[in-house]
Chains A and B, each alone.
Chain A
């Protein structure tokens, strides 16, 4: 199986800050990488797919980049409603796997 290592596991930042989360795959997954946002008590929601494509209707402060084994998710200008846990997920091959998650809180 392809292992996904996400860091940090949690972070606290101020409103307006730039927040960066990284995700590393155990092998080359090209751009087959998705990001999800999960707010407390809710199901996860697809945010970014294909490593960098923002889901329609979602704020442009969310962005993703990377290919191969190293990926980055960025919130440019953190907002209170961004409090959530974010997960990366690889879809290279038939068996999908998730990163461990990053909990983002407002300082």
Chain B
């Protein structure tokens, strides 16, 4: 059974870089054709996709965050990571790591989710 677990600081100071890691257990992150993704949710609000990395290493990012976001993959550790630079209070949210699976050509869904981790931007 594949499971995802987020880890990282719960508080980040304004203007600094938010860094989170997602550990994947139960399957090699390199096996299969998946996007490994980050999604966030401010308290009481909806879901916002941040960015993804394919198992081959190619990436895609939300255009509204593209200048500040980087997603990377470490196959040796079976992990993928998120970096979000120049954070402000509006980046305070629960951050989820997820797996995006192609169930038919050009048809994708987010079928696995971590439990989420709350990151607060505060001085």
Contacts and interface: CB of A to CB of B under 8 A. Distances in A.
A44 B103 contact: no
A98 B48 contact: yes
Contact of B62 (A44, A50, A95, A101): A95
Interface residues of B, number: 21
Contacts of A92: 106
Contacts of A100: 46
A73 interface: no
Max chain B C-beta neighbours (<10 A), residue from A46, A92, A99:
A46
Query: Interface SS of chain B: helix, strand, loop or mixed?
Result: strand
B114 A50 contact: no
A61 interface: no
A91 B101 CA distance: 11
B60 A95 contact: yes
B49 A43 contact: no
Given A49-B109, A99-B46, A43 B114 contact: yes
A100 to B, nearest CB: 5
B63 interface: yes
User: In terms of DSSP, what is the predominant structure of the interface of chain A?
Assistant: loop
A43 B63 contact: no
A45 B113 CA distance: 8
Given A43-B96, A43-B115, A43-B116, A87 B47 contact: yes
A87 B46 contact: yes
25 contacts: A1-B63, A31-B107, A32-B107, A36-B47, A36-B110, A43-B96, A43-B113, A43-B114, A44-B96, A44-B113, A46-B109, A46-B110, A49-B107, A49-B109, A50-B104, A50-B107, A87-B47, A89-B47, A91-B109, A95-B62, A95-B63, A96-B100, A96-B110, A97-B49, A100-B46
Interface of B: 46-49, 60, 62-63, 96, 100, 103-104, 106-111, 113-116
Interface of A: 1, 31-32, 34, 36, 42-46, 49-50, 87, 89, 91-92, 94-101
